[in-house]
Amino acid sequence: MKIALAQINPVIGDIEGNKGRIISAITDAKKRGADLVIFPEMAAIGYPPMDLLINNKLIKDNLAMIDELAAECTDIAVICGYVDYNNENFSMLYDAAAFLNKGKVVSRHYKTLLPTYDVFDEMRYFSPAKNNEPVVFMGRRIGITICEDIWSNEYDIDNSVVVGRKYDTDPVEILAKQGIDLLINIAASPYVKRKNRIKWDMISRIAKKYSLPVVYVNQVGGNDSLIFDGNSFFVNSSGGFVAMADGFKEDIIVVDDEKQNKTVIPHENGIEDVRKALVLGLKDYFSKCGFSSAVVGLSGGIDSALTAVLAVQALGPDKVMGFTMPSEYSSSGSVSDSKKLAENLGIRLEKIPIKETFSNYKTVLAGLFHGLNEDVTEENLQARIRGNILMSASNKFGSLLLTTGNKSELAMGYCTLYGDMAGGLAVISDLPKTMVYELARHINRGKKVIPVETIEKPPSAELRPDQKDEDSLPPYDILDSILEMYIEKHMSAEEIIKAGYDGGTVRSILKTVNRNEYKRRQAPPGLKVTSKAFGTGRRIPIAQKFIP
């Protein structure tokens, strides 16, 4: 049996557009001699649709699309993810997969395990499957599972080991006991750094445990903060990888389930995968939201430089405009390094000094602030002046403003509301500062796109004389390690201190993180690449007094 793995990039809620993508892939699969073509989880609607699922029209339209697709399947079989009604509880739905063949819907299969951790909230919308039976096709008994159904165990993402059971039910085991010849998993599994090695090891173990070949088909593309990497694959009954689709782009591969010699060795590409993920997420955010060009404020620092590089890689140099806005506290490199970066990238750069505007603001506020020393208020004024200039350019040119703050700054509140936080997409907000440096050096491994001076200079907001980030923050290598333990690994202050960190430093950092939740709640959406990003996957009350 020849099986096509159709790794497509659906648009959430675009039923007609998604149908066109699916039919195009079916046509391609037919030309390549496929007997069965498999699409990702919720391919009809796109994942995650969130509260769009409350709209009855969306559900009806996606059901009508499945019937229309079935009519196309007269000489090829299709497995396609969609959303179905729960006819026993009309307030709930099923996350479903339809098996289409001979012009009709042969069977419907529902998701059993519904995740409610991190960015997932599926129990809000879906009922778990009560049962799941194999479907017979071309003499094979095929078990169909949906994404989380293969994640019944809990894994340590850092050490790639099973640490326990996540669910009481194991849908794979239930299907295996019924006797199946092939296991299929359709997924919409978001990219997270280091997650793929866990997934590959897990599914290889499943194949070996049950002596079953496994087909895994994942969605690709960016939807809001989430980035789906594709990397669909076929493993043989010994757990060897036979074929794998390209990562971070649409792809269709055709495999023969009778030719199961091991031919590929999957491997993560580390920081290069992070780059690909950010570029894909940025590109799709623009195309799916209807934006075509970007505005970026360039400070001469590494964060804004990296953001501009990623924007150019996603959109092209003609679609990115940079602004340098020096003040009386800006170093000479603020302008010269920004100019050099713009030349290297081939983007338009506008210089708008803010010294006079800043002086005018201080004059206007002189009476109100009489007798008070200058402090962070005046520092933030400069950031807000720049934010106003950038938002004005965004409005005038119809371009989306990209914010340039990193995860370390966002965690510590080292950013200005309505200033450098103003914008429509926070491209690197899930990159700790140390990872910003790693990615910048990776990008510069060939041609030096980012000026060396930008990477080597001490980071500074340049809002007061001789300012350096480390005047207000611990060294970034220490800060990022503590932040990772607290935010991503959920460790307490005492646990972090026992790991070898200074108690005063740890408690100060954790207190600062908690105190700045109100800022993060007002930040633009960011692109998620770590196991715990700020945003929908980390829901913390603003008004609270928890001591970690």
| Local confidence band at 162 (pLDDT 50, 70, 90 cut-offs) | low
* Mean pLDDT score of the chain: 94
Per the domain annotation, does 254 fall within a domain? Answer: yes
Name the domain boundary from 268, 288, 307. Answer: 268
Domain contains 387: yes
The catalytic residue among 73, 80, 147, 415 is 147
- Whether omega before 48 lies within 30 degrees of 0, making that bond cis, reads yes
The total of structural domains in the chain comes to 3
Same domain, 168 and 101: yes
Q: Residues 487-493: contacts with CB within 8 Å, 24+ apart? A: 487/411, 487/513, 487/532, 487/538, 488/530, 488/531, 488/532, 492/548, 493/547, 493/548
Q: What does residue 30 show for φ and ψ, rounded to 5 degrees?
A: -60, -45
Is residue 352 located within the same domain as residue 494? no
DSSP state of 485: I
Question: What is the identity of the amino acid at 121?
Answer: D
CA angle, 186 then 187 then 193, to 5°: 145
41 tagged catalytic: yes
Q: Is the pLDDT of residue 97 over 80?
A: yes
State the pLDDT confidence band at 154, using cuts at 50, 70 and 90: confident
Q: Is 142 within a domain?
A: yes
Co-location of 284 and 254 in the same domain: no
Structural domain contains residue 537: no
Q: 110 falls in which pLDDT band (50, 70, 90)?
A: very high
- Same domain as 257, residue 404: no
Indicate which CATH number applies to the domain containing 55. 3.60.110.10
Indicate whether 86 belongs to any domain. yes
pLDDT given at position 152: 86
Domain containing residue 210: 2-268
Following CA atoms 154, 159, 161, 165 in sequence, which dihedral angle do they give, to the nearest 10 degrees? -20
Domain shared by 134 and 214, yes or no: yes
Query: Phi-psi category of 231—alpha, beta or left, where left has phi over 0 and alpha has psi -120 to 50?
Result: left
Residue of higher predicted confidence among 6 and 446:
6
Quick one: pLDDT at residue 469?
A: 74
Sheet holding 214-218, edge to edge: 135-137, 140-146, 182-187, 214-218, 233-235, 241-244
The burial of 299, by beta-carbon neighbours within 10 Å (0-12 exposed, 13-18 middle, 19 or more buried), is given as buried
Q: Are 441 and 371 members of one domain? A: yes
Cα 530 to Cα 31, 76, 119, 148, 429: the distances in Å are: 39, 39, 12, 19, 10
In a domain, 381, yes or no: yes
Phi, psi of 475 (to 5 degrees): -50, 140
In this prediction, residue 150 carries a pLDDT of 96
Orientation angle between helical segments 195-210 and 171-178, nearest 10 degrees: 20
Q: Is the pLDDT of residue 6 over 60?
A: yes
Rounded distance between C-alpha atoms, residue 477 and residue 479, angstroms: 6
Average pLDDT of span 2-26: 98
| pLDDT of amino acid 547 | 87
Residue 221 in any domain: the answer is yes
Question: Following DSSP, what letter does each residue of 83-120 receive, concatenated?
Answer: EEE-TT-TT-EEEEEEEEETTEEEEEEE------STT-
Could you read off the pLDDT of 374-397 as tens digits, one per residue? 999 999 999 999 999 999 999 999
Q: What is the pLDDT of residues 278-332, one digit of tens each?
A: 999 999 999 999 999 999 999 999 999 999 999 999 999 999 999 999 998 888 8
Q: Catalytic: which of 41, 148, 379, 462? A: 41
254 and 290 share one domain = no
Q: Are residues 215 and 315 in the same domain?
A: no
User: Of 268, 298, 330, which marks where a domain is finished?
Assistant: 268
Our answer to whether residue 350 is catalytic in this structure is: no
Residue 427's CATH number: 3.40.50.620
Q: What is the pLDDT of residue 71?
A: 93
| Positive/negative CA dihedral, 450, 452, 456, 458 | negative
Please name which of 288, 280, 289 lies closest in space to residue 246, comparing C-alpha atoms. Answer: 280
Report which secondary-structure segment, H or E, holds 25: helix 15-31
Check residue 91 and give its pLDDT. 85
Which DSSP symbol is given to 52? G
Is the domain of 126 the same as that of 85? yes
Q: Which of 268, 289, 314 is the last residue of a domain?
A: 268
- Domain assignment present for residue 157? The answer is yes
Residue 331: per-residue pLDDT: 85
For residues 235 and 293, membership in a common domain is answered with no
Please, is 461 exposed, middle or buried when counting C-beta atoms within 10 Å of its C-beta (0-12, 13-18, 19+)?
buried
Phi first, then psi: give them for residue 350, nearest 5 degrees. -110, 135
**Which is the catalytic residue, given 2, 19, 111, 193?**
111
Q: Which residue reads 């991503």 in tokens?
A: 488
Question: What gap in Å lies between CA 399 and CA 276, rounded to an integer?
Answer: 22
Q: What is the pLDDT of residue 330?
A: 83
Confidence band of 157 (pLDDT split at 50, 70, 90): low
Same-domain check for residues 48 and 72:
yes
Q: Which of 395, 384, 307, 387 is nearest to 347 (CA)?
A: 307
What tens digit of pLDDT does each residue of 435-465 get?
999 999 999 998 899 999 999 988 877 677 7
Answer yes or no: 111 catalytic: yes
313 and 213 within one domain:
no
Tell me how far CA of residue 408 lies from CA of 60, 76, 86, 109, in angstroms: 44, 51, 44, 43
425 near 290, Cβ under 8 Å?
no
**Statement: residue 473 has pLDDT above 90:** no
Q: Which two tokens stand for residue 369?
A: 């602030």
